[in-house]
A and B are shown apart, each in its own frame.
Chain A
Amino acid sequence: MAQAETGMHPVIRGETAAKKKSRIVQFARLLMKSPTGMIGFLIILGFVFFGVAGAWVSPYDPTHTEFSKKLLPPMTDGHILGTDQLGRDMLSRIIHGTQISLIIGVTTVFFAGTIGTVIGIITGYFRGWIDTVLMRVVDVQLSFPFILLVLIINAVIGAGLRNIIISLVIAGWVVYARIVRSEVLALREKEFILSCEATGVPRWEIILKHILPNLLTPIIILSSLQVATFIIAEASISFLGFGVQPPQPAWGNMLSEGKNYIFSSWWLITFPGLAIVFVSLGVNFFGDWLRDVLDPQLKGK
């Protein structure tokens, strides 16, 4: 930021491989220094591991029902976290839920981020009527509760993993559009952009080579926070009976099923919830650390 204010090009380009490597080492060193950042990183690492390798590491088939073994409390019969009302192993179901949350987190952030960034750049850089129209749309969307919007969209287009991702993307891109637009509005007044325009550099080149690289930091910071938002939103929607449908084990619908047994079997609502808390805590920790490192001016805010 400080560099940008002096009108210099803040992104150092033409980095050599060696420099890049040393930057990774530098980041690793910084991460070692921050306990919360490290915890966040480890949680994310675990999250990704279980998300990818879940099928191989889970002790049981998450959809295998066994009525004779229903509602077993944790640590009985080889079921570390107990079983649910159909006798399915809780641990295996939570591990499989990890996969769904991981897919949700990655895809929604990717698509919402891409759409929002493209629209943010177009509106911020070209202004004009397209800006007016699209920003009205953004205003309308932002003037409506996010979760309610996701819920309605999902109810209309139908439940299921693919549709909940679509719903989250439709409701979620506006946040990116708004932030990217305001960044672009600030960037295009900077000397290094103005001088490019003055020397006749084509617009697409200005956007790709000069604007986009400078948007990376705010987008990364925003995304790290949005991952948690999207994961929690999906869990909420699935909890309400839309989103991911049983028997597919998502954390949200596990809680929805478990709430009927709240008076007798505490483990049904406890563990899936804890999984959500852990993941979003880890993502938030890591996101905060990332923000402090990438944008030191915001530190402590």
Chain B
Amino acid sequence: MPTNNKLFEPALIKESLAQSFVKLDPRIMFRNPVMFTVEIGTLIMLGVTIYTAVSNDNSEGTFGYNLAIFIVLLLTLLFANFAEAIAEARGKAQAESLRKTREDTPAKKVFGSGNQQEIKTVPSSQLRKGDVFVCEAGDLIPMDGEIIEGLATIDESAITGESAPVIRESGGDKSSVTGGTKVLSDKIKVEVTTEPGESFLDKMIALVEGASRQKTPNEIALTILLASFTLVFIIVCVTLKPFADYANTPITIAAFVSLFVCLIPTTIGGLLSAIGIAGMDRALRANVITKSGKAVETAGDLDTLLLDKTGTITIGNRKATNFWPVADVNNDDFVNACILSSLADETPEGKSIIELAAAQGIKAAQTQRDNVRFIKFSAETRSSGIDFGDTRIRKGAFDSIRNMVVKANNPFPKEMEERVKTVSSNGGTPLVVSRNEKVLGVIELQDIIKPGIRERFERLRKMGVKTVMVTGDNPLTAKFIAEKAGVDDFIAEAKPEDKMLYIRKEQEGGKLVAMMGDGTNDAPALAQADVGVAMNSGTQAAKEAGNMVDLDNDPTKLIEIVEIGKQLLMTRGTLTTFSIANDVAKYFAIVPALFITSIPALQGLNIMRLESPESAILSAIIFNALIIPALIPLALKGVAYKPIGASALLRRNLLIYGLGGVIIPFIGIKLIDMLISLFM
């Protein structure tokens, strides 16, 4: 996917500029109380400007001065609108580029059923939920759906950026296909699972656009705080009028409006919605589709992550690393039995046994056998194997083979029990091999832990997130891998309902839990989790149940999602702090300017030594306006998250945005004043 990391794409800027004016509509502005009050102030200044233009009354200041104030206020509004518009545009562009691929793709729709089937090519926009279409090698898949017949290799690079093709087949957990991806081989029949306009991408686009975007609970709480700050300053400004009357100081409307606009938290007020949209956009850039803004926010709060061992913590599958025959069994004889038992075993583990045997130079004896019958692995027997003649070779988990052996009244060799334990405690998986219910030996399988995963877990731990490994392994093996990979807890011999139970238990303790899953049997747990990330390759049920979909099918994505959530909240917090800290300097600019004519002694308060009352007021509101576009990049990119512990993080942000927020406007206002005084 073309991920564009440039913040300001020229095409987007043009669109956003237009939107900045459209958003001046008071009905839209009303959603943002802080900026709405600025709009009212701007309208008042428009009136004053017109009045000074047509009358000769100069008690409200000159026409030029009032016009300048009006223009700066209007710019403040436009800058804030622009911030929101550019965030929307970027999010939309990102989502559109995903959607575009699937629109107007010809679809080979299947009409009729049974023998009367007929295939016609229709535009993909005409496909409805429940329709069936066919895709062959070279076709683009027109819509999201589930394979109901066949198997195909599919190039999903358009969505995931991953060039290696993946296999999708009907039934099971890998039956889902995404619109816009390309079939490379074979032929599949797909049933459409969503109505047009209701796919995740469509929902995401709607979220990014203003219409259906709902404020998240945290955004609401922050808006309340900002509104109350605005109210404080309304009180301050209104009561200033009788105060000034008492002090015999006339204050112009321009000064009142400027003071008010400077003091209310316009910086955060103007950037608030942009920050929220940018959060979703960042998730999308990480190839995660979120179903709500709230999900991203919740991600920042996660306490517990449930991660599947296979694919997340360890690379793919286990590999055979050792053969351990019983003392009185010949090594070659044992290995031979191992090979035989694995001949029909298509699993990577089975194949790795044959590979290991080959590496040791032992090949299966090429003898003809009668009555060959392969025994497939089943969940009940937990073993597989081969029967020929009167020989029965079985390979399986320790306890299942032991049961079988003991039932036949044969002893289970003590040394093998020891061996099984040693292998398990080293993180390996022992497979016991038996012939005619007699133990031959143990095959050791080992997990390979992904490089760098330990560091990522360490990072999570510093963020306060607990990681839990979910695995079908026995507790001993699980414990070894858990320690080696650095996870905090594990669920061994996990059944799907175990995940559910674990999530419930954590939630009862007040924790927020995230999990990732793909199978239909993961769906209940995905729904139960506070953040459920479904893999795009997963079943439709899984995708419906979760509140995020990961297009990359990358299980480590959860870690990124947590950081995106935290960044979102941090950006809000730091910009609020910055915005309020700014007020200190603005007060020192404006308040002396208001009263200096009637109480000259207040010159002592003009610590920035600003040129004149007019230039002081103008510089303050110009600074106030300019700081918004200056901070747009930060709002869009988010404040960097560093897992250094909450207190250290607070100290850091307080220094940068709190103290910085106090100092920067002093410098900024002084510089603007110096510039203005050149022209005044």
Q: Do A and B bind each other?
A: no
